[in-house]
Structure 1
């Protein structure tokens, strides 16, 4: 899947999660304050969708270069191509390592959640840590591909504008 189509699909999935969450919370608020009763499943559904939305967004933000970056530190090496290339490889390797560690922890939580169900909706609680596992796997694969290709760090995030001033 091309990056642009992946980006559109991720944005559509996040918009759908947000729309369902907003509708569920709105209906629940109206029912509670207007009629004295609410929908208990609304909170569980909103929590589940929020977790999925955040992890989809984190995955989509990585190839777009929208994650937090320490450009002030990295920019110092821009004039030294070899040092910048080595630092880029180190950063990609550290991203793979960090995503692997978080993914391993998420996998452990998925295993724990397979044996239990949510209180109200009754879905397997493994669905809560599953998006973190999938997001970490996808980010680790993207960072590993950048490491193998030798892709230099993208110094976006306003770094070029700061240099022009």
Structure 2
């Protein structure tokens, strides 16, 4: 069954968002490498250092983890054991994918609501060295939960309406480059 043009347009828009997210991941990882490597060189070579490197790189690592989780979810590269689901006929497989994505949506709702509460509580708290609000760290799981929830919602729609076996990615599952 071929999806309607609006669905293919949404999938193309999601692919563009994924490309922007991956560019963000590359930028943050490169900045983290430069900061940490530069700090190591300064510490051991010149007996000095950049004091904010540890705090900022820790925040960057949290952002990489949650933004990367969105990208992995969109590409369907998360760790999973699906030999039982793959052996099911088409209709039960679609039902299992629908129920699984609804469970993911519930988990994302819990993550987003908890991270939102932590963000609200921590806007006034600042990191001791950098002075950045610690709420920036909690913004990563908040955004990650929203992103993964959007992917799970699209996958649930795909499973419910039979566009795919439960994945609204453009094309086949990407097994890596």
Q: Which band: TM-score by shorter chain?
A: 0.7 to 0.9
1:153 is matched with 166
- On the 8 A contact 2:55/2:130 being kept in 1, the answer is yes
Q: Does 1:130 pair with 2:143?
A: no
Conservation of the 8 A alpha-carbon contact between 2:126 and 2:132: yes
Alignment partner, residue 70 of structure 1:
81
Partner of 2:27: 16
Equivalence for 1:53: 64
List structure 1 runs of 4+ shifted beyond 4 angstroms.
Answer: 154-158
When the two chains are superposed, the root-mean-square deviation of aligned CA atoms in Å is 2.0
Alignment length (residue pairs): 156
Q: Does structure 2 retain, via aligned residues, the 8 Å contact 1:21–1:46?
A: yes
Residue 42 (structure 1) aligned with residue 56 (structure 2): no
Once the two structures are overlaid, the 10-residue window that deviates more, 13-22 or 106-115, is 106-115
Give 5+ residue unaligned stretches, structure 2: 1-11
Normalised TM-score (structure 2): 0.79
Aligned-pair CA distance for 1:156: 4.7
**CA deviations over 1:52-79 (Å, ceiling 9, x no partner):** 12211111221211122221221221xx
Unpaired stretches in structure 1, ≥5 consecutive residues? 159-165
Q: Separation in 2 of the partners of 1:100 and 1:73?
A: 27
Report which stretch shifted further, 115-124 or 55-64. 55-64
